[in-house]
Amino acid sequence: MAENEEKNGGLMKLIIIAVSIVVILSIIGFVMVRFINPASENGEVANQQVEQSRELGPTYQMGEFTVNFAEANNFQFLKASIVFEVSHDKLTEELNKRKPQLRDLIISVLRSQSPEDIKSPSTQGIKDEIKNEVNNNLNTGEIKNVWFTQLVIQ
């Protein structure tokens, strides 16, 4: 009978330790979610931000561009079609008015690239440069994204 009491006592200790570990891990998880990640404090705010980042804004077609590379003795040229995602619909009016100026800026950016820049797996640097140059010349909004819908080197 003494052996049964020892087994039951050992089993009770094991159950108490397991429950204590579960409670401690639950408290740690709650503290991490609540205080370390403040965006999750209000779940609706975090969900709205995710939805907004996935939602496509208004777009504007800049059209096709065909440019020679600026490098000497390089007879290759680049053909690209560019689309902007804009911050709001009213910006398209300004883009229409400034289209010749903006096309000239984009041509300058594209000509300054080398064929290797265009052939690289990521063209994000070129897109960022176009976006920055265009945004520096806008008054009523901003370009949020630049997309190449066609990009060919010949």
Assign domain 56-153 to a CATH class.
Answer: alpha beta
Domain definitions of the chain by residue range: 2-53, 56-153
* CA nearest neighbour of 143 among 54, 100, 82: 82
Write out the chain's pLDDT in tens, 154 residues. 556 666 677 788 888 998 899 889 888 887 777 777 555 445 555 455 445 557 888 999 999 999 988 776 767 889 999 999 999 999 999 999 999 999 999 999 999 988 888 887 888 999 999 999 999 999 999 999 999 999 998 8
Determine the Cα–Cα distance for residues 123 and 121; give it in Å rounded to an integer.
Answer: 7
pTM (predicted TM-score): 0.63
User: What was the pLDDT predicted at 47?
Assistant: 52
Q: Give me the amino acid identity at 52.
A: Q
